[in-house]
Copies of this chain bind each other. A is one copy, B any other.
Amino acid sequence: MDGLIDSIEYLMQKRDYVRLRQLIEGENEADLAAVFDELFDRYGGEKRDTLVVLFRLLPKDMAAETFSLMNSEMQEELIGTFSDKELREILDELYIDDTVDMIEELPANVVARILKNSTTGERKAINEILRYPRDSAGSIMTIEYVSLHKDMTVSEAFEKIRKVGVNKETIYTCYVTENRRLIGVVTVKGLFMAEEDARIFDVMETNLICVDTHEDKEVVANMFAKYDFLALPVVDKDMRLVGIVTFDDAMEVIQEENTEDVRKMAAIAPSEETYFRTGVFKHARNRVLWLLIFMISAFITQRLLTHYENILLAVPTLVPLMPMITDTGGNCGSQSSTMIIRGLALSEIRFSDFFKLVFKEFRIAIMVSSVLAVVAGIMTYFLCDRDILTAVVIVAAIICTVIMAKLIGAALPMLAKRVGLDPALMASPLITTIVDCCSIFIYFNIAAYVFNL
């Protein structure tokens, strides 16, 4: 991509618009949109006008798609330079779901201009999609699908696809409706394999897999991964077809949800922007809240340790070993919670597996802790002046801490799921904080017992 940017910049500087046009005509729209975004970030103020020139060099049939794939700041810049007629032409070419995506990101005055330049039908469709909750199937669907009548023949169906297909987001799955209710699905492949004069009613698939308008978009995306569909119909509660979700939107949702989960697991507030498109202040704000909560919680550990002051002073060798105990506990707990958070996200684990899962983690903990305890015991013995009592404390503390950590790491995400919280919150930082406190409690109680304090 760097090569493409360099070539474009070179030809722009030379004002060689003929060769520039030849160059960009041969590129893919997604790559061009990435070039626009990159140059928009690099250029400031005046120089951004050259991007408007570049955009106007795009052939008509490529302009709209390139436009739909840009970041909203770049889109806003371009819209500011469009005449109403040009804006209408672009909007005409866009799929409704892309228009809605764009509207959600743009400032109000630009949105007003877009709505003013849409047709009444488009405006109605846009408003309808905008009405659905943010994370629902309705919010990511498009209304541009091909619908067929059950009494059509296969060749009539082909005729219709040919006529209306150019504006549809996918033509490969067509929907058979009767009084707006979805009664069947037929793929173009199915139509190819059927006789020309067969009736749609006889070739359509009636075992329908569809989603409700209010279904969580993550659930919808996971259905794509399971069924390998190109598109899924979205229906209201009376089985009326209101739109379709296509596989490219599902793929985007999967990537977004994964990013969100990974960030949540590191105690970062969710945000849809990429790293560099988020400002320093926003980054700080997204991170500081959870840090504060965990830091303040750590003062509980401080109170606990103050309580054990006499043990700390009596056996000073115990303190340097404390981070080893708490870190090992934290890592063990995080491993378990990560396995389970991911399993829950992929629906491989359900709440009904609770006891089976906790018991499994318990057995894993026994194995893992035995290995760790032996190594830690031997190392402690040799590093702490061959003090057998300290080594005994460490062996016992490691075993108890690992078991405790794995059980907490297993139970918390499951319980979060049960009460409707996002299990991803029960990840490393929270587990570490809780496990720290518990492992120090275990450690010093074992020490008090062994050293008879």
Contacts and interface: CB of A to CB of B under 8 A. Distances in A.
A181 to B, nearest CB: 18
Nearest to A402: B291
A388 interface: no
A262 B342 CA distance: 8
B295 A432 contact: no
Contact of A248 (B228, B321, B338, B433): B228
A332 interface: yes
A345 to B, nearest CB: 9
Given A368-B291, A428-B266, A275 B379 contact: no
Contacts of A383: 299, 302-303
Given A28-B209, A162-B193, A301 B324 contact: yes
Interface in A373-403: 375-376, 379, 383
Interface string A240-274: 00000001101110110011011101111000001
Interface in A318-363: 319-324, 326-328, 330-332, 334-335, 337-343, 346, 348-349, 353, 356-357, 360, 363
A266 B372 contact: no
Interface in A49-79: none
A295 B343 contact: no
For chain A, the bracket of interface size reads 35 or more
Contact of A367 (B207, B281, B301): B281
- Interface of chain A, main secondary structure: helix
Interface in A283-317: 283-284, 287-288, 290-292, 294-296, 298-299, 301-306, 309, 312-313, 316-317
Given A299-B379, A375-B296, A291 B251 contact: no
How often does this chain occur in the complex, in copies?
Answer: 2
Nearest to A307: B320
A353 B290 CA distance: 27
A381 B261 CA distance: 37
B316 A259 contact: no
A141 interface: no
Interface stretch (A102-110, A119-127, A129-137, A164-172): A164-172
Contacts of A312: 316, 319
A320 B62 CA distance: 64
Given A291-B331, A295-B327, A305-B323, 16 more contacts: A28-B207, A158-B192, A225-B255, A265-B265, A275-B348, A280-B367, A283-B339, A287-B332, A294-B328, A295-B372, A295-B375, A299-B379, A299-B383, A302-B323, A309-B320, A330-B432
Interface of A: 26-28, 30, 158, 161-162, 165-166, 171-172, 188-189, 192-193, 207, 209, 224-228, 230, 247-248, 250-252, 254-255, 258-259, 261-263, 265-268, 274-276, 280-281, 283-284, 287-288, 290-292, 294-296, 298-299, 301-306, 309, 312-313, 316-317, 319-324, 326-328, 330-332, 334-335, 337-343, 346, 348-349, 353, 356-357, 360, 363-364, 367-368, 371-372, 375-376, 379, 383, 428-429, 432-433, 436, 440
17 contacts: A158-B192, A254-B255, A259-B346, A262-B338, A266-B338, A275-B339, A280-B363, A284-B364, A284-B368, A292-B372, A295-B324, A295-B328, A295-B376, A298-B324, A301-B324, A302-B324, A323-B436
